[in-house]
A and B are shown apart, each in its own frame.
Chain A
């Protein structure tokens, strides 16, 4: 007998034996979006457009699935394939106007090397079910209504039917699928910015 109990598990797995029950539904733990560019770039405007679009779109998906996030991660891969991430904890939210500025701030801190960028990505994790709560102090009903109206439009005409002007350049970010239905995300065959 080697490796005690774990040895037995490994042996079983090696022989295709696994008695654990099948779980039909898998609760989604995080949602993310990332993009590898066709050509490495240092174009800050383009990079920022991309991640803003990602952030906005992910926030919409959160609201659609009645989720809130409390952890933002930004991911950056340089042209030498070294990959860096940075994450921060925030109070639970699903509002673009809180998430996106935070994402941009993290990105500014993360992109400190003088190198071309190959990939950028945004991930929201530490999810919890629930609806967005209006902040007692600085939010108005107006904001809440705005989100509601935008989301109604999106639900009806597609996620890119209403977008912020600063994400206009990122044409292919923001496909509309439901990440919380337990199905694996669809992967596009060709993605170009």
Chain B
């Protein structure tokens, strides 16, 4: 009977989930129900999926509104109708058009106009697909309307938006948030009516007693609606079914390509390789993954053709076919990658390939996919739901109640006394809890792309976010439920660094031999690179530069590719948390300890000393150790990553795991220990193929850093840095022998450039300079040669006084050899006496007036403060800025002989990392560099954090114990103080 029900996907309008809606309807005695969210279809599929569990026949539609004004409700009579509705809505939202007053005629769709709306637009004749929707408030009016003659067109259109009065309040708050207005200013027209509750079916029928035709008409309309999607375990995949157009051709193509490309990957094809290829191909065909592989291959091919770099990773990287086709670059035979991880007969979904591109190239690849496979709208990006979190909700509600900023800040920080709150603050606090977890708005999933056989509107309406690619309204979980599996096209900066570095090397080191960075075998065995890894000198290199990784590499003395592959997975939170990281290091260092491993575990994972490191180890252990079937193991693996739908199913598998272990005769202690290990993975661990792919990229960047360090550092700077701030990479470049200059009008570009071993920082570091000016400076220089003097520059470039000020102060005119204070006087004078606009180059150069300046000295300190102001950091050693010169003190190089002793070091703060201890207390890890530029790693336990918190950038005095853990030295800080800088000399009187 209810045709106009809203879930909270009626964004900033509805108040409860689609699941809750079903529960309410069941409770109230309904057997069929229509979900009609406002201009949205996010919840439709899940509604259809869940409805049978509640004994309800699902009907879906869309409540079409301009703002809060309800125009009409479209109800899909079939799947085609749903598609048509989605198309209609998407068309308008893509083009930002207002919805028309009159609904169009769509096949298998009925439109219900609210009675009041019909009166408003003075519509009296109804087409066959049009109905009059009456709500309970309209009863007193309908008899007097001319429409009343068409009684067979009248249906009940009573909305359901709330459960109770509190929901109504939440609704009003949401509306005020959505309209960004005050609650007290919210118009009545912008809210739903207060009576939109779910009424029990019996009492609703009682209310309708006088209008039996309403009941029968509504029931008839609902009976005519039928929508079906398959959500069962053996649902057919909805992805694009064929790559070439027919299955046979697809198979032929993949066989042909494999044959063609096999020699490139393997010089000699061993029987082992052949067997693996055959096994995979059979399974791929059996599971109908051929188009999935071919589309990935096509995408990668396009990228290669365009000269884009890519990394294929994810569980699909365990596949030999992917390796042969060039989707991935790791050899599964060589690395002994577990086949069942990426695919087995019991796994419902295809393997995932995450394909990384440089952040600059990704958009073009996405565009290519849309152009190639989405001619009829079969391609779209995936949405994610941005939900209200407590802090954000407090902020939004604070504004709705008109609280001033400082009060909102206080409320959202959570550091207040709940008893001392005033009335508004209490309300904010109370309702923020109700908003928690509700969807706030839709945004785009990081990399998911759907390529479907049918147009995407078959499943969902689409939005068009600013990037310009249609995006579904549901998220990846629902996509998987209905059988749509995403392709992951991601952007990362590491690839951009590698590509840029190669370009820079070509210019700066023309004598260097041509490098084929994709020919990785020699890189992996390069002694110099491996030495660098074992010393953890990896700043700037992909995935291995963080302090935690540096520590792990040192502890493990990683000096090979395989070691790095293991390290990349061990560093993940899951492994680290369960204490297995420590166990791994111990076993690595001490062969005796390896004997502690359980024989079955040892056999399964000999290369990682019987410790579970990779994601597939979960499957291996579950299958071989606990005797679960591969299908059950997969449930376990998915459960770990929180991707499971049903907790019960997961619990069943857990119980079976434990009971199987008992029957196998393992002790309970052992079983629980293994189970805990399995559980602690919690989806964080990498598949080995994935780790291996990352490690390849790490090696590529390590190679560049090893042989072309300066060029590589410049590439890092030009790709937005990495784990650390730009300053750290500049420091690293300096340590590697570069001379660093601030931006220079005659050398710098927008980005940083290197000439020989001299690095000129790019103009992009200067936040005070706008892009237009930067481009003008560079264009003019490229056209007519370098600038000869400040006068010459001012004649050729039209520049504002502020920009010139920035340039002079950062020493962009250092080449003139003139002191910058003189330049400032000169520059300001000339800018003030110059005509404002220059249309063309003057015919005769008028010699500008020259002045004699008195001596205007500048000091290095002044320089440093100017740099801190303009660049954000100084180019001199920060230790020079200390107010009091330090006495002779210990350096990092003194740490080894002081192990176990309390010493004091001085370090410039680079980065901190906060974690919480097992009893929820904050502890920190710090990274500093000492005066000579070496790294100091520190550990700050909770009492120290409480007493000596970090106080921002600067130099700290660090006192603490030197600890040697597996050969990695760090300081357990017991006292820490930030040292004062000298006063800013520029303003000192």
A interface residues, Cβ below 8 angstroms from B: 40, 42-45, 78-80, 114-117
The digit string for B388-424, where 1 denotes a CB below 8 A from any CB of A, is 0000000000011111111000000000000000001
Residues of A within 8 Å of B404, CB to CB, are 78-80, 115-116
Contacts of B405 in A (CB 8 A): 80
- Bound-complex Cα distance A44 to B401 (A): 12
Q: What residue in chain A is nearest B399 (Cβ atoms)? A: A114
Majority-rule SS of A interface residues: loop
Contact of B400 (CB < 8 Å), options: A45, A80, A114, A117: A114
Q: What CA separation (Å) do A51 and B400 show in the bound complex?
A: 23
**B244 CB–A CB distance under 8 Å:** no
Q: Are A116 and B403 in contact (CB under 8 A)?
A: yes
Chain A binder among B2-10, B53-61, B182-190, B922-930: B182-190
B180 contacts chain A at the CB level, 8 A cutoff: yes
Q: Is the pair A42, B180 in contact by a Cβ cutoff of 8 Å?
A: no
19 A-B interface contacts by CB (under 8 A): A42-B183, A42-B184, A42-B185, A42-B402, A44-B184, A79-B404, A80-B404, A80-B405, A80-B406, A114-B180, A114-B181, A114-B399, A114-B402, A115-B403, A116-B401, A116-B403, A116-B404, A116-B424, A117-B402
Q: Given contact pairs A116-B401, A116-B403, A116-B404, enumerate 16 new A-B contacts (beta carbons under 8 Å).
A: A42-B182, A42-B184, A42-B185, A42-B402, A44-B182, A44-B184, A78-B404, A79-B402, A80-B404, A80-B405, A114-B180, A114-B399, A114-B400, A115-B402, A116-B402, A116-B424
Q: How far is the CA of A42 from the CA of B180 in the complex (A)?
A: 14
Q: How far is the CA of A117 from the CA of B182 in the complex (A)?
A: 12
Residues of B within 8 A of A (CB-CB), count: 15
A79, chain B: closest CB distance, angstroms: 5
Once bound together, how far apart are the Cα atoms of A33 and B430, in whole Å? Answer: 38
- From A78, A80, A116, residue with most partner B Cβ within 10 Å: A116
**CB of A33 to closest CB in B, whole Å:** 23
Residue of A45, A80, A114 with highest tally of chain B CB at under 10 A: A114
Sort A-B residue pairs by CB-CB distance and give the 9 closest, nearest first.
A42-B402, A116-B402, A80-B404, A114-B399, A42-B184, A44-B184, A79-B404, A115-B402, A42-B182
| Complex Cα gap A42–B406 (Å) | 17
Enumerate chain B residues within 8 angstroms of A45, measured Cβ to Cβ.
Answer: 184
Chain B residues contacting A116 (CB-CB under 8 Å) are 401-404, 424
Instruction: Report Cα–Cα, A52/B402, bound state, in Å.
Output: 22
Q: How does the 8 Å CB contact mask read for B690-716 relative to A, with 1 for contact and 0 for none?
A: 000000000000000000000000000
Contact with A along B844-865 (1 / 0, CB 8 A): 0000000000000000000000
For A44, the chain B residues whose CB sits under 8 A away are: 182, 184-185
Query: Bound state CA distance, A159 and B387, in angstroms?
Result: 55
Tell me the minimal C-beta distance from A113 to chain B in angstroms: 8
CA distance A114 to B182 in the complex (A): 6
Return the chain A residue nearest B400 by Cβ. Answer: A114
Provide the residues of chain A in CB contact with B183, threshold 8 Å: 42
| A172, B840: Cα distance in complex, Å | 70
- Nearest-neighbor residue (CB-CB) of B181 within chain A: A114
Is there contact, CB below 8 Å, between A43 and B184?
A: yes
Residues of the A chain whose Cβ atoms lie less than 8 Å from the Cβ of B399: 114
Cα distance, A45 to B401, chains bound together (Å): 15
Q: Which of A42, A78, A80, A117 contacts B401 (CB 8 A)?
A: A42
Q: Residues of A contacting B182 with CB < 8 Å?
A: 42, 44, 114
Contacts of B406 in A (CB 8 A): 80
Q: How far is the CA of A45 from the CA of B183 in the complex (A)?
A: 12
Shortest B598–chain A CB gap in Å is: 63
Chain A nearest CB from B855 CB (Å) reads 33
- Chain A: minimal CB distance from B66 (Å): 23
Which among A45, A78, A115 has the greatest number of chain B C-beta atoms within 10 A? A115
Q: How long is the Cα–Cα vector from A42 to B399 in the complex, in angstroms?
A: 11
A117 to B404, CA, bound (A): 10
What separation, in Å, do the CA atoms of A63 and B399 have in the docked complex?
41
Smallest CB–CB gap between A42 and chain B, Å? Answer: 4
Point out the residues of chain A lying under 8 angstroms from B401, CB to CB: 42, 116
- The residues of A that contact B424 with a CB separation of less than 8 Å are 116
Measured in the bound complex, the distance between the Cα atoms of B181 and A40 in whole Å is: 17
> How far does the Cβ of B423 sit from chain A's closest Cβ, in whole Å?
9
**A64 CB to nearest B CB, Å:** 34
Q: Which residue of A lies closest to B406 (CB)?
A: A80
CA of A44 to CA of B406 in the docked complex: distance in angstroms? 23
Give Cα A114–Cα B428 distance, bound, in whole angstroms: 14
Nearest Cβ in chain A — how far from B92, in angstroms?
Answer: 29
Roughly how many angstroms separate A114 CA and B399 CA in the complex, as a whole number? 6
User: Which residues in A have their C-beta under 8 angstroms from that of B400?
Assistant: 114
Compute how far the CA of A19 lies from the CA of B232 in the bound complex, rounded to whole angstroms.
100
Most buried by A among B182, B399, B400, B406: B182
Complex: chain A residue closest to B404, CB-CB: A80
Task: Across the interface, name the chain B residue whose C-beta is closest to A81.
Answer: B404
CB distance from B398 to the nearest CB of A (A): 9
List which B355-410 residues lie within 8 A (CB) of chain A: 399-406
Q: Please name all residues of chain A whose beta carbon is closer than 8 Å to the beta carbon of B402 when the two chains form the complex.
A: 40, 42, 79, 114-117
Whole-angstrom distance between the Cβ of B412 and the nearest chain A Cβ: 15
Which of the listed residues B184, B405, B424 has the most CB atoms from chain A within 10 Å of its own CB? B184
Cα distance A33–B424 when bound, in Å? 28
Chain B residues closer than 8 Å to A79, beta-carbon distance? 402-404
Taking CB atoms and an 8 Å cut-off, the chain B residues in 96-125 that contact chain A are none
- The distance in angstroms between the C-alpha atoms of A152 and B180, with both chains bound, is 46
Contacts of A42 in B (CB 8 A): 182-185, 401-402
How many angstroms between the C-alpha atoms of A43 and B180 in the bound complex? 16
B405: nearest residue on chain A (CB-CB)? A80
A79→B183 CA distance, assembly (Å):
16
Residue of A nearest to B423 (CB): A39
Interchain nearest-CB distance for B334 vs A (Å): 62
Collect the chain B residues with CB atoms within 8 Å of residue A80's CB.
404-406
Instruction: For the complex formed, measure the closest distance between the CB of A152 and the CB atoms of chain B, giving whole angstroms.
Output: 38
Residues of B within 8 A of A40 (CB): 402
Report how far A67 CA is from B99 CA in the complex, Å: 53
Q: Kindly report which residue of chain B lies nearest to residue A47, judged by CB atoms.
A: B184
User: What's the nearest-Cβ distance from chain B to residue A83, in Å?
Assistant: 14
Q: Give chain B interface residues in 465-486, CB to chain A under 8 Å.
A: none
Specify the chain B residue showing the minimal Cβ separation from A108. Answer: B185
Q: How far is the CA of A114 from the CA of B404 in the complex (A)?
A: 8
Name the CB-closest residue of A to B401. Answer: A42
* Contact residues in B for A78 (Cβ distance below 8 Å): 404
Question: Which residues 181-223 of B have a CB within 8 angstroms of A?
Answer: 181-185
Distance in Å: Cβ of B719 to nearest Cβ of chain A = 40
User: With the chains together, A114 CA to B403 CA distance in Å?
Assistant: 8
| Chain A residues positioned under 8 Å from B181 (CB to CB) | 114
Chain B, range 420-447, C-beta contacts under 8 Å to A: 424
Q: A190 to B184, alpha carbons, bound, how many Å? A: 28
Measured CB to CB, the closest approach of chain A to B816, in angstroms, equals 43
Within 8 Å CB of A114, what residues of B?
180-182, 399-400, 402
Complex CA gap A79/B406 in Å reads: 11
Interface residues of B in 139-182 (CB under 8 A from A): 180-182
Point out the residues of chain B lying under 8 angstroms from A43, CB to CB. 184
- CA gap between A44 and B185 in the complex, in Å: 7
Name the residue on B nearest A40 (C-beta): B402
Distance from A81 Cβ to chain B, minimum over Cβ atoms (Å): 9
Q: How far is the CB of A87 from chain B (nearest CB, A)?
A: 22
CA distance A116 to B408 in the complex (A): 12
- Nearest A residue to B403 via CB reads A116
A107 CB to nearest chain B CB (Å) = 12
Docked CA distance A184–B368 (Å)? 78
**Beta-carbon contacts under 8 Å, B811-834 to A:** none
Q: Give A44 to B176 CA distance when docked, in angstroms.
A: 14
A78 to B424: give the CA distance in the assembly, Å. Answer: 16
A42 and B184 alpha carbons, distance in the complex (Å): 6
Q: Which chain B residue lies CB-closest to A43?
A: B184
Bound Cα distance from A79 to B401, whole angstroms: 12
Min C-beta distance of A108 to chain B, whole Å: 9
Q: What is the bound-complex CA distance between A80 and B183, given in angstroms?
A: 19
Please give the distance in Å from B183's CB to the nearest CB on chain A: 7
Map CB proximity to A onto B663-697 as digits: 1 under 8 Å, 0 otherwise: 00000000000000000000000000000000000
